[in-house]
Structure 1
Amino acid sequence: MTMKGERSEAGDPQAAGEETARHLPYPSGWFCLERSRRVPPGRVLTRRFMGEDVVLYRTSTGRPHAVRPYCPHLGAHLGTGGTVEGQNLVCPFHRFAFSPDGTCVGTPDGAPPPRARLQHHTVRERNGFLFAWYAPDGTSPTWEIPGTDHARVRPTATWSTEVSTYAQEIIENTLDYRHLPVLHHVAVEELDPPQTQGPLLRMRLRLGPDRPRVLRESVKADHTFLMAGLGYLRVEFPLPALGLVSYLWAMHTPAAPRRTRMLVATACTDIHQQATPEASLPRRGLHRAFAHAMLRTAVGKVHQDLRIWNTKRYEPRPRLAASDDAIGMFRHWARQFYPPA
């Protein structure tokens, strides 16, 4: 009950505006739909993307495509029984066939096809991942996903989950240095502060266990972070003593309002792989073992974050402390991925 002279929060325009501001729209950019190996030629998969289904498939020549899910003929869902025949995606309902550019090119009775076209998402393939472009106004891509220096690197170990929060909240976590020793017992030292270049953000940190200095000095490692939009984070750190360089990817794909699919992947290769692209069998075994160990460590940290992410709310105007300048800079950078207020 509202006492006389008081205004309910629901009836307070300012309170309503603040509550609306706590709900983020879908951001523009590149977002991971699936790992490349999960979509071999002829495979048809359905994934949730920005509040709707996306049908992902690969033609016989190996080119991936992502389309809106419904056949323009009579609305059948192409991901439920749809097939790939050569270069065409075939509807399961009446066997209307659609070419890679989305045009209807075939009917079951050989009659002239209707003037119909599937709506496509722009797709890119990088380092064993398939990405789709999203922009609220439907504009074409304005930037590209950066690949690794070792173009042959592919994820060796992967893990995924769904999180009840926004993609921005997850990737912002990387710049929240203050939570690392508190939640993860990780000591952090900023080597190169965050620097932005359009849709890219780079920084370099030295990380190690938050333990006595003697132990920390022996196991700390320098990590190079690269963010590309709000859906892509890659961490690279060399291990010179072992002649290795390791990669960790964290992909954040909005599936529905305040629902994000998170994919964590790891890989490891020789530092000088470009000179000797084919590693020996023992070295490949070492790469796999290290990648799996790295994934287990990363997933353990993510589980610690999940109980925070799944219950926190987005604060549009956070009350930042003096040492939170990296978060403030990130928030300013992130604005470019949303439509104007």
Structure 2
Amino acid sequence: MGTIDLKQLLESQTLERCPFPIPVGWYFIDYADTLKAGEMRNVFVFDQEWVLFRTESGKPGMTDPYCPHLGAHLGHGGKVCGEHIRCPFHHWEYDTEGWCKNIPYAKLMPPIAKKQAILRALPMVEKYGMMWAWYHPQCEPPSFELPYIPELEDATGYTGSRRGSWTADTCIQEIAENGPDVAHLKFLHGAPIIPPVQTTYEGPVMKLDIGQGYIQGTSYGPGLNVMRFNQHGITATMISYSVPISKEKTQMNMSFRHVDYAEGTPELAASKKVIDHMIGAAEGEESAGFESVDFIVWNNKKYRPNPLLCDGDGPVLQFRKWFKQFYPGYENSTKI
């Protein structure tokens, strides 16, 4: 027997479940109709607590919870005053960009407060009936915009109120890696074949084609993925908008839409069946959607930065190379 590769055999002792920081991107925070003008609440995402609020004119804001003055928590006793969030302790006020706009008893503002925002605030937009926040670890501004999604934005032509939310005990990259990993569709999900897959990458956008047009997906950074399932003469759409709760916990959120076919038509029935299949096990079908099988893997696996891959695997390494751009400062890391 020749010498054995101990590094290969012992690597699992040093593996981590999630060796990643929170990646850069636009992320879903909540549905727009859950936050009225003048309301505020505390939310936990991106590995920390934040204060989410809506100004009296309707603009959403999301800031660090601790006042730059003496550290009082803005989300416990704080208040929305006009276009600002006000600290309960000494009534310092901040706008949705984190600039201090009022200190009621000060003759002179601290010099830094005249030059820059002093409270970390995340850029926010409202789109698709949802509130989105831009996360960057060094507080850099957004480097790309959220796309136009006709299924969610067009006034007519599409329907479907079905949506769901699931918590996975893993990082957002591991969930996204399922896209190019087509081999698992046969062995974990029970699909009849391993479908061919093609991926293309351009900046923060990844396009995925599974089964030569059978499933076509587009990812816009880590936090938004639009998957169109073209089957049985219809197209049904899954819009996925996951958000990192922490480095090891991800909230998966999805909306399901389809063309507004007339009641009783075979196209409507086919659309609904395809959506059933995306999520779980549709009636009369052997293969299963993510809800049935993926969580047992996600919740228990560890990340192998040097995976042993074979010729039948999908473009996993190309995907990982693309995803690295969302971890600024980690370009040369061997852990990820």
Instruction: Give the TM-score range, shorter chain.
Output: 0.7 to 0.9
Q: Deviations 1:80-125 (Å, cap 9, x if unpaired)?
A: 3433232121233444332333233345x66658545422111233
Q: Which residue of 2 aligns with 1:230?
A: 222
Residue 326 (1) aligns with residue 315 (2): yes
Q: Given that residues 158 and 266 in structure 1 are in contact (C-alpha distance below 8 angstroms), is that contact kept between their aligned partners in structure 2?
A: yes
| 2:240 paired residue number | 250
SS at match of 1:174: coil
Shift of 1:17: 11
* TM-score using structure 1 length: 0.74
Deviates more, 1:97-106 or 1:159-168: 97-106
Which residue of 2 is the match for residue 199 of structure 1?
A: 204
| Alignment correspondent of 1:134 | 135
**Which residue in the other structure is 1:259 paired with?**
249
User: Structure 1's 102 and 258: CA in aligned 2 closer, same or farther, altered over 3 A?
Assistant: same
* 1:255–1:302 Cα change, 3 Å: same
In structure 1, distance between residues paired with 2:100 and 2:235: 47
2:94 maps to 98
Letter in 1 for 2:136: A
Contact 1:59 1:87 (C-alpha < 8 Å) held by counterparts: yes
1:175-190 pair list within 5 angstroms = 175-187=180-192, 190=195
Write out aligned runs for 1:53-132 (5 A). 53-106=49-102, 114-115=109-110, 117-132=118-133
Q: Give the 5 Å matches for 1:152-191.
A: 152=154, 156-187=161-192, 190=195
What pairs up with 1:301-320 in 2 under 5 angstroms?
301-320=290-309
Corresponding residue for residue 25 of structure 2:
29
Does the 8 A contact of 1:68 with 1:120 survive in 2?
Answer: yes
> Is the alpha carbon distance of 1:105 and 1:268 closer, same or farther for their aligned partners in structure 2, counting shifts above 3 Å?
same
Report the aligned-residue RMSD.
3.6
Aligned to 1:147: 148
Query: Which residue type is aligned with residue 264 of structure 1?
Result: M
Q: 1:318 to 1:121 in 2, by over 3 A?
A: same
Residue identity in the other structure for 1:41: A
Distance 1:292 1:85 in 2: 48
Distance 1:28 1:155 in 2: 30
The CA deviation at 1:22 is 6.2
Equivalent pair of 2:18/2:171 in contact (CA under 8 Å)? no
For the structure 1 residues 102 and 332, does the alpha-carbon distance in structure 2 shift closer, same or farther, using more than 3 Å as the test? closer
For these two proteins, the number of residue pairs brought into alignment is 301
The amino acid of 2:179's aligned partner reads T
Higher helix share: 1
Give the distance between the partners of 1:238 and 1:90, measured in 2 at CA. Answer: 50
Q: Which residue of 2 aligns with 1:276?
A: none
The residue identity in structure 1 corresponding to 2:241 is: M
Do the aligned partners of residues 101 and 325 (structure 1) sit closer, same or farther apart at CA in structure 2, a change above 3 Å counting? closer
**Are 2:275 and 1:294 equivalent residues in the alignment?**
yes
Measure how far apart 1:316 and its partner are: 0.5
Contact 1:188 1:206 in 2 (8 A): no
Relative to structure 1, the CA distance from residue 191 to residue 321 in structure 2 (aligned partners, 3 Å threshold; closer, same or farther) is closer
1:210 match: none
TM (normalized to structure 2)? 0.75
Taking the aligned partners of 1:48 and 1:296, their CA distance within structure 2 comes to 31
Going from structure 1 to structure 2, the CA distance change for 1:320 and 1:132 (only over 3 Å counts) comes to same
After TM superposition, the structure 1 stretch with the greater mean CA deviation from structure 2, 192-201 or 182-191, is 182-191
